[in-house]
Structure 1
Amino acid sequence: MPPPGVTLRPMTQEEFDAWQAEVARAYADEQVAAGNWPADRALQLAQEGQAGFLPDGLATEGMLLLNGVLADGTVVGRVWVGLRHPRDVPDCAFLYDLEVDAGHRGRGLGRALLEGAERAVRAAGVGALELNVFGDNATAISLYASAGYTVTQQQMRKRLPH
């Protein structure tokens, strides 16, 4: 059960602009840490990727860009869902981002945001929700597993000495 008073609402343009910069930086850092992108180009690559997925910004059709809000109006996190899967998986939406602000973590708000995202996907008539999670993100993996998500694909990597 979500914590009382947590609702999802669409981002405002101002919130979207701030979020876009934050999520690009965080994604770039994750890609560098995972060994996927060079540090000197990571932010540019993240921004280009976002632009491809959100060509019309906040108004991009089929994208849900939502804030999780407490009853007192405090924004505690964000959710980004594409109602059309990026690999055209039928009847499946894709969760691009779910984040609880650092000062609000550990209170069940990630689960509340996830449940809200699932409700929004169902309300849009889509029957499944898929996501990717970095292998070293134990907290997120635990949340998704406890919410009934199962591994459908897995990538593994080993660093080889030169």
Structure 2
Amino acid sequence: MPAVTVRTMTDAECEAWLDELAREYAEDQVLAGRWPAEGAIARAAEENAELLPDGPATDRMLVLRGVDEAGAPIGRAWVALDHPRGAPGVAFLYDIEVLPERRGEGLGRALLQAVEAETRREGADALELNVFGGNRTAIALYGSAGYDVVTQQMRKAL
């Protein structure tokens, strides 16, 4: 497996990532039928700004850049060290992604492991995440990495 480490994002990296993240998060929410398309990007940006008021310096948040052995960026991750619903000792992975141009190199699992190690170093006993049902690649990765389904939301179109 390729070697991947993580470091805190710079302010400039974080600013670019937050713009991209808002678009992606809004699209996921719209596709899942949870939000209307109109205003979705603004809503996503507002939610992210509330959670990360100080960007990468926000207390109890890890805003990470994954880098390869040469120090080149390969991806990103965002972890809340305090679970949004208060689960004790459980951190929450809001975002993890390998850069599109680096996909297919086996970096996803390595990035996930680096993020888990950093989260553990920060004192968390467990890491929880949400994955949309249509994201089969991510579901397979998390399952093979030892993640268990703890809650499941289902929907049927009528």
Identical positions, percent? 57
Whether the aligned pair in 1 keeps the contact of 2:8 and 2:56 (CA below 8 Å) is no
Distance in 2 (alpha carbons) for counterparts of 1:69 and 1:121: 16
Unaligned 5+ runs, structure 1? none
Matched, 1:63 2:24: no
TM-score between both structures, scaled by the size of structure 2: 0.97
Whether the aligned pair in 1 keeps the contact of 2:66 and 2:76 (CA below 8 Å) is yes
Aligned residue pair count: 158
Q: Secondary structure at the match of 1:95?
A: strand
Partner of 2:49: 51
Distance in 1 (alpha carbons) for counterparts of 2:113 and 2:126: 13
Distance in 1 (alpha carbons) for counterparts of 2:83 and 2:117: 17
* Matched AA of 1:41: G
Aligned-residue CA RMSD (Å): 0.9
Distance in 2 (alpha carbons) for counterparts of 1:92 and 1:42: 28
* Matched AA of 1:121: T
The one of 142, 145, 151 aligned to 1:144: 142
Matched, 1:21 2:23: no
Aligned residue runs from structure 1 range 13-162, under 5 A: 13-160=11-158
Partner of 1:3: 2
Q: Secondary structure at the match of 2:155?
A: coil
Q: Secondary structure at the match of 1:45?
A: helix
Q: For residues 23-60 of structure 1, give each alpha carbon's deviation from its aligned partner in whole angstroms, at most 9, with x where no partner exists.
A: 11000001111111111111011011101211222211
Unaligned 5+ runs, structure 2? none
* Matched AA of 2:21: V
Distance in 1 (alpha carbons) for counterparts of 2:43 and 2:156: 23
